[in-house]
Structures are given as C-alpha cells and as structure tokens.
Amino acid sequence: MKQNRFMLVLGLLVVASMVLAACQPGPVATPEVIIETVEREAYTTPHPILSDVRVRQAMAYCTNKLELVQSVYPLAPEAQQQELVLNTMMRGGHWAYAGDENITIYPFDPAAGAALLDEAGWTLAEGATVRSNADGETLNIKFTTTTAAFRQTWAAVWEQQMEACGIDILRLHVPASWWFGDTTGLARRDFELGAFAWVGQVDPGGVTLYSCDQIPSPANGWEGQNYMGWCNEAASTAVKNANNTLILQERIDNYKILQAEFTKDVPSIPLFNRTETFAAVAGLTGFEPISGQEYYLYDVGKWELPGQDTIVLGFTQEPASLFGLVEDAFVAQLALYMVLPGAITTKNYDFQAVYIQDFATIENGGSVLNEVEVKAGDTVVDANGDVVTLEAGMSVKNFAGEIVEFTGDPIKMQQLVSTFKYIDGITWEDGVPLSSADFALSQKIACDPESGATSFYVCDRTAGVVFLTDAVGYTHSWLPGYTDPLYFTPIWGTYPAHRVLADGRVLADVPAVEWATLPEISEQPIGWGPYKLVEWVKGEKLVYEANPYWVFGAPKTPNFVIQIITAESAEALLLGGEVDVLASETLAGLSQTLADAEAAGTIKTWSIAGGTWEHIDISLFIR
C-alpha cells in the first residue's frame, strides 16, 4: 500500500441497544449501559490474546526473518538477504534509523519466545503441539493476507515458525480488493494478525500510521491508517514532532523515540524490505525501473517496442476502484497513474519537478515562513504536533522555535505559506486546459468527511488555500505552529471540475458522499497524463490509448493494455510473448526460469533493493 499525503452508526447502535433491552425481562438498560455497549463496538475491548505484550514479543522472537527472505528470494546473494531483514519500520542505514543500541531487537530465539508464552500463561502440555491456558483455551490466532503468490510463500513458512512455538495459526488468503477495500478488511480492522506491505517513501512520514488520533473506528468515521489500534503517547507525540520541524536533528531524535517505543510494544512485526523485480521482453526500450520509492510507470510515455503499437503489462491483482483518495491498493494507484501522473518524481531517492514549475522552497521564495500573532481562541498546532484551540497553559513553539507556555497574552508564531505553480500547456484528455478550479475541487473532496478518505491530517492542519487566477495552481497556508518537512512538494491533486457526467450533472456539483460509487471516478476517470483509459473489461483488462493533449507530446507507443492474469501463468505469458512486462507487484523475485530466459536473450530482468516493506500488523482490540 502507498502512503499518500492526504492515504448514523452511533444512532443505530443506541437504538439496537434500546430494542434489545426492551425485549429482555427486568429493567431497561440505563444510558451508562448503552454508552458502554457503543464503546465496546468502537474497539475498546482488548484482544484476549494479542493485547498481552508478552505474546507479541514472543511471536517476534519466534519469527525467523532471514528464513522468510530466503523463501521468496532464494537466488539473492546471502549478503543481500541479510540486508533485507528489518528491525523497525526504518531500514538500516536510513538517516532516520534509530540504531541498534536504541531499540529492542528480537533475534530468532524460539526459547526466549517460549519462555514469554509460559510467563503469559500459555503453556505446552506434555504431548501437545498447541499451547493452552489455565481455562483450557488453545492459542489459536487468525492470520489474514492477500492471495498473492509471494505472500502465500512466506506466510506458509511463518505459519510453520509459529507452530514450532506452539501457536496455532489459521491462515486466510483473501482477495486484495477486499483486504484493501474502502469499507472492508484493513480499513475496518477486520483481522487479528494481518500481513501487507507499506510502499516506502523518500521521507519516513508515519503520522497516519502510528498516531493515537489516527486509529480508525466508527466514532471517527474510520479515519486513519493505524489499523493496529496502537496508542503510545510518547510515540504518538514523537512521530508528530518528527513531521513538524524543518530541523533534521529534531526529526532524527523524534524518530528514535518512535522506534524505541514501537519495538518495545510490538504492535507490528517488521519483516523485510522487498526487492523490486521486473522482467520485460528483450526489445523493450525506455523502460528503466530505478531505485527509490517511485512508480515504475514514471516514464511510461517513453516505453517502446519496435514494430508494435501496443504494450501489455500483466497484473495478477485487479483494482477494486480507481478513486485514488480511498483506494490504497498499489495496482489501483498504478492504473490511475497512467492517466493522472504525479506532479513530481522521487526516483533515486531524490525529488524532481515534472509538472510544476519549481519546488516551493524558502530559498527560491516559493515558500515563506511568516511571523504571525496568535491569541486565545485561535486554532494552532501545539508543541506536541496536535491541532488545538489555543488557551492559557498550553505549550507552543514561538517564532524563534522555542517551546513556551501560552499565558493568555498574544504570542508570535511561525506560519508556513507555499505557492505551487504548474507548467503551461497541461490539458485534460477532453481538450479542456487544467485550471485552478480543478485543484479547488480536489481540496474540497479530500477534506470532506463524507468522501471516504482515510486521513484528514493535512486538511486539519490547513489554515487556508487560495487558488490562483494569474496562473494554474494555488497558495497553501498551514496553521501557525505547523512546519511540514515536505512543505516544498505539491499538496493537492486534481479532478476535472468541468466534466459533465452521464446524468447531466457537472462533477464539481456532485456531493462527496457519492464519489466512491460514481462511475466517472471509480471506473472511468479522465486525466491529463500520457494515456487515457478507454475501456475496462472487469476480470480481463484495462485498455488505454494515447492522450492527444499530453503536454509532452505523443507517447512512443500509442496503445497500452493492463492485462489481468494469474500468478501461476505470469512467467509463461511473458516468455510466450502474450505479455510484455511483469513488474514488482507480480514477481516475488528472480526465478530460475526467468534467469535462464535472460541468459538465452529472450527477456531482460532487473532486481532492485526497494523501500517497500513487509510486516504483520497485530490487532490490539476487538469489537
């Protein structure tokens, strides 16, 4: 899953509680009972097994991460296999990595894991293979992940590792469309143990993943991506502070706190970085997958096969929706990227401007750090990184960057303001030029609670947006006290505000609550990138044609197809010429079959150490 910048229930429960109480003999439930019932439904009941930190730590000790790596990357050199193993959410060598001495490391040590399980009351009776507690309950845990062959491989090995420690794992492989759906799977915390990958980014970020106020629940409209339900106040404050300063050392220090608390509590088990493996027919040119957290389609307009007018890319998972605001599945983001590419790229772990005139840095004047006066009652971001209504006794950062207590008298704080201007000539595929109204619609929908968005972190910290009239773009003002480390990169995307829908309405007038099911958004989006989507045959293919209005001219190849294939047939289809490209979301690693085909000159392969990382999230609470 890619981390983006942006990614009635209560009433019904109360009514249900009242009806249930009325049907029972004895007194009707009191309001306190009703509220308690609602709270339980809102995931405040600790998981009977996984809420015990000793069990979580035991699973970490019982996990042989190197063996998992070897199961999916058997042809990788041993040194590379070792380098892929993770201790935290940061890879070793990353500038934000806390260092081994500052975190809790769990080497593969089944004996240590067994001792912790014994201490937690889960013992292994003589002759038994599964542990049980004093009540005779066995240590059974449900483990959910996708159907991808890659995860089936390592998940089977991990299941055996847990069984060796007396933990019975019920392994479930579910469709990606359900697992990453907007109202199912992870988004609704419907799991006990859940495996998936976060797509790494140039900057660590992490606020929506590890903050206490980013735990999705019915009470907050399922906002946030902290699916574990992990609330550690020190970690929550640290990750917010790491993302609210322009001073690198402050970021490093706060990420160190986050990782120390994370590895102590084990709300998730980081496993390994994935290598990104790609394979393509030998004649393909312009295809250059690179290191860094970047979509490999960043240069798709340059892909070319001599003598062919169509390139076919194989997907083993089909997108559930192309509404990028709510659909996190990587395949969906890739399919949408064909028509709506990013304004910048981050190839080779650096930033490059593509569709913007320049980055909005303080050095070039694109951003300014204003000195503003704030008073009691104003909305600001406090010293802990939280959005607050200012009142006496609160701690804030003054304009000099010092943490001070607000006494009630007006105080000067920093306010970051950035202006983003896009290059001339960007035109929607229907011939209408890109306008500032398209950014205004994007900001409006992203910040509407009824849109289905998983996070409003950026919206909550936005003081205001002014959409330009003398250029295409906008000026963004953050709340006083918030200094986003990635302030110089664009914030809002685009939607075609002018588009007329099949029912005659204009897209800009459609309420946000309808967007997730709107065909023109979820299945037939238009864009201003190199291609336009002309057909989606569900279960079979997505068909694209060149966008005649693409600002950089005609793509090298006029037609492009994303073919939906099975994992079992992927390599055979490539070698047989029915598919031209297989990428990292399909290939688990370099197989002997692919290596032999490359040696024969039939195909070309790439194997790159990537930032995407596999992990197992642990659900700390139940309904």
- Specify the pLDDT at position 41: 61
Give the pTM.
0.73
Average pLDDT of span 282-300:
85
CA 436/CA 418 separation, integer angstroms: 15
- Specify the pLDDT at position 309: 98
Q: Does residue 37 surpass a pLDDT of 50?
A: no
For residue 41, give the nearest of 222, 233, 265, 266 by alpha carbon.
222
- Specify the pLDDT at position 399: 95
Average pLDDT of span 31-36:
32
Q: Does residue 14 surpass a pLDDT of 80?
A: no
- Specify the pLDDT at position 11: 29
**pLDDT tens track for 89-99:** 998 888 899 99
The pLDDT-based confidence of 411 (bands split at 50, 70, 90) is very high
- Specify the pLDDT at position 32: 32
- Specify the pLDDT at position 23: 30
CA 201/CA 611 separation, integer angstroms: 7
Most confident listed range (236-245, 426-435, 589-598):
426-435
**pLDDT tens track for 446-479:** 999 999 888 899 999 999 999 999 999 999 999 9
Instruction: Evaluate whether 276 touches 584 at the Cβ level (below 8 Å).
Output: yes
Average pLDDT of span 258-269:
98
The pLDDT-based confidence of 128 (bands split at 50, 70, 90) is very high
- Specify the pLDDT at position 207: 93
**pLDDT tens track for 270-288:** 999 988 899 999 999 999 9
What is the token pair recorded at 82?
């070792």
- Work out whether the CA dihedral 330, 333, 336, 338 comes out positive or negative: negative
The pLDDT-based confidence of 328 (bands split at 50, 70, 90) is confident
**pLDDT tens track for 373-389:** 999 999 999 998 999 99
Instruction: Evaluate whether 603 touches 252 at the Cβ level (below 8 Å).
Output: no
Candidate from 24-38, 101-115, 477-491 with smallest mean pLDDT? 24-38
Average pLDDT of span 110-125:
98
- Specify the pLDDT at position 199: 76
The pLDDT-based confidence of 612 (bands split at 50, 70, 90) is confident
- Specify the pLDDT at position 291: 59
- Cα of 331 vs its chain's centroid, Å: 13
Candidate from 35-44, 103-112, 344-353, 602-611 with smallest mean pLDDT? 35-44
Most confident listed range (114-123, 247-256, 293-302):
114-123
Candidate from 7-16, 438-447, 463-472 with smallest mean pLDDT? 7-16
Burial class (CB in 10 A: 0-12, 13-18, 19+), 373: exposed
Average pLDDT of span 404-421:
97
- Specify the pLDDT at position 428: 98
Instruction: Evaluate whether 448 touches 515 at the Cβ level (below 8 Å).
Output: no
- Cα of 540 vs its chain's centroid, Å: 26
Residue 586 in 3-state DSSP? coil
Average pLDDT of span 586-600:
92
Residue 258 in 3-state DSSP? helix
Average pLDDT of span 326-346:
91
- Specify the pLDDT at position 68: 97
- Specify the pLDDT at position 462: 97
- Work out whether the CA dihedral 557, 559, 565, 569 comes out positive or negative: negative
Most confident listed range (9-18, 80-89, 604-613):
80-89
- Catalogue all structural domains in the chain, each as residue range(s) with its CATH number: 8-41 (no CATH), 46-273+615-622 (3.10.105.10), 275-349+515-608 (3.40.190.10), 356-425+431-478 (no CATH)
Say which residue, 35 or 619, is predicted with more confidence. 619
Mean residue pLDDT of the chain comes to 90
- Specify the pLDDT at position 293: 58
Q: Does residue 593 surpass a pLDDT of 60?
A: yes
**pLDDT tens track for 313-324:** 999 999 999 998
In DSSP terms, 585 is beta-bridged to: none
- Cα of 16 vs its chain's centroid, Å: 35
Average pLDDT of span 131-153:
95
**pLDDT tens track for 516-568:** 999 999 999 999 999 999 999 999 999 999 999 999 999 999 999 999 999 99
CA 328/CA 260 separation, integer angstroms: 28
Q: How far is CA 352 from CA 342, 344, 356, 359, 579, in A?
A: 11, 6, 10, 9, 31
Average pLDDT of span 135-151:
94
Residue 100 in 3-state DSSP? helix
The pLDDT-based confidence of 351 (bands split at 50, 70, 90) is confident
Return all residues near 609 (Cβ < 8 A) that are at least 6 apart.
80, 83, 84, 273, 275, 276, 291
Average pLDDT of span 208-218:
94
